[in-house]
Amino acid sequence: MKPIALITGATSGIGLACARKFLNAGYKIIATGRNVARLNELKDEGGDDVYILIFDVRDREVAQMALKSLPENWQHIDVLINNAGLALGLDPEYKGDYNDWDTMIDTNIKGLLTITREIVPGMISRNKGHIINIGSVAGDAAYANGNVYCATKAAVKAITDGLRIDVAHTPLRVTLLKPGLVETNFSNVRFHGDDERADNVYKGITPLVGDDIADAALYAAQAPAHVQIAEMLILATHQANGSIIVRS
């Protein structure tokens, strides 16, 4: 029987890359997200090996109902990839937008907690499972104008570390992936659709792409059972940390 991976935010970027990578590796995929058209496209790609759930991780009640609606043959989730997340705005904290703050906190922290809380008990009862959280280099140290986004990713690290402690008595494994500069729609979302400003983020450097992070996720998932890839920092070659980027 094929293993099952549930991936949040599977409609674009790292989430979509993970869905395709795990599909090609022989997994069945539960893909969640808000974009119905893109989820249906992924379903068309994977056929019977893809099950889609349409919800926003910020809406706890809807997320819980969606997960509880899974058919019996889709409930034994082997890998959970908490990928859904975003950055909004790039302003000093004292000029920050309250709505942007709420969206980042509700998605990056509370949404991740909701999905984890719903899925991990089943993994513990089956004595099998792997949780892979997508954090960020931004969670290691704040960068200029990153304030609240950096704080949410620091929280993801703390939550991941705490979960690893909480399940250490079980065979479950917990992994934190911390990408640096990845060229997806991340910056376009951050700048509220300003394509020119988003494109400037990646000028003068060859950034990572979603497949690079998906490769790391699959590597962690396919490691021998006694090997736990606890944390992985993945940067573009000319990026030293969250704020030092050398551009040509």
**Residues carrying an active site annotation:** 149
Closest-CA residue to 161 (of 151, 140, 175, 178):
175
3-state secondary structure of 99: helix
Q: Where are the beta strands (DSSP E) in the chain?
A: 4-7, 28-33, 50-54, 79-82, 130-134, 173-179, 231-234
DSSP states of 106-135: IIIIIIHHHHHHHHHHHHHHHT--EEEEE-
**Interatomic CA distance for residues 99 and 3, integer angstroms:** 38
Between strands 130-134 and 231-234, the pairing is unpaired
Task: Provide the token pair at 160.
Answer: 């991941």
> Which of 72, 82, 170 has the alpha carbon at shortest distance from 121?
170
Phi, psi of 50 (to 5 degrees): -125, 130
Q: Is the dihedral of CA 48, 62, 16, 25 positive or negative?
A: negative
User: Residue 208: beta bridge partners?
Assistant: 182
